[in-house]
Amino acid sequence: MAAGSGTRMGGQMPKQFLEIDGKAILQKTIEVFLESCPGIRVITVLPETFMDYWKEYCYKNNFICPQTLVKGGITRFHSVRNALEKVPEGAVVAVHDGVRPLVSGGLVSEMFGRMDQEQALVPVVPCVDTMKVLDEKLKPVPGAVADRSRLFGVQTPQIFHSELLKQAYRQPYDTSFTDDASVVERYGKSPSYVYGERLNIKITTQEDLILARAVVNILRD
């Protein structure tokens, strides 16, 4: 999924179209799935105003990827719900941020390989920083203690059987829906979890972009 506008990145070009190693971030992300899951069906969610740009990019760069383009919604929730309209029954669905190009094919393959035993599977990484609970004025919240040993950062891809995900997305939108796992949990189903990858960062800021480019250069060398 790549429907975000990238406002935190700055500039007019959405972050998924910025380049890493000579390719758009979105292309590099999709390539991981194409290489690790032959025959996968790609549904790309984009801002409506950039659909033609993406089509032209794919043509000019000879990026051959049969894909269904879907218009993004006003929130992540609405974008995923739009995409689910294109998903057939009986499928296994991976929802992935288009700006996580450093996810490994190994993680993707591992997660898909477990879906004969799971209904929902989500990657997480343990928090390594000391965590503080502060109010809007950056003052400590009395009595609030963040136990780092029990805190995990949630990543994508988040993988589900299509029937479960479609049913969960029939719920009315709620601002607490920050990812697909939260939607499924509100529906009453608890996902299973697998360890994710530290390098599977979401490119949201300029600092993220600099880090991702550096990682790619190091891995290439």
Q: Where are the chain's structural domains?
A: 7-220
Query: CA-CA distance, 168 to 188, in Å (whole number)?
Result: 9
pLDDT tens, residue order, the chain (221 aa): 545 455 555 567 899 999 999 999 999 999 999 999 999 999 999 999 999 999 999 999 999 999 999 999 999 999 999 999 999 999 999 999 999 999 999 999 999 999 999 999 999 999 999 989 999 999 999 988 888 889 999 999 999 999 999 999 999 999 999 999 999 999 999 999 999 999 999 999 999 999 999 999 998 87
**Cα dist from 150 to 13, 34, 128, whole Å:** 37, 34, 11
Fold of 7-220: Spore Coat Polysaccharide Biosynthesis Protein SpsA; Chain A (3.90.550)
- In this prediction the pTM is 0.92
Name, in order, each residue with C-beta under 8 angstroms of 131's C-beta and a sequence gap of 6 or more.
146, 148, 151
| Phi/psi-derived region of residue 153, left when phi > 0, alpha when psi is between -120 and 50, beta in every other case | beta
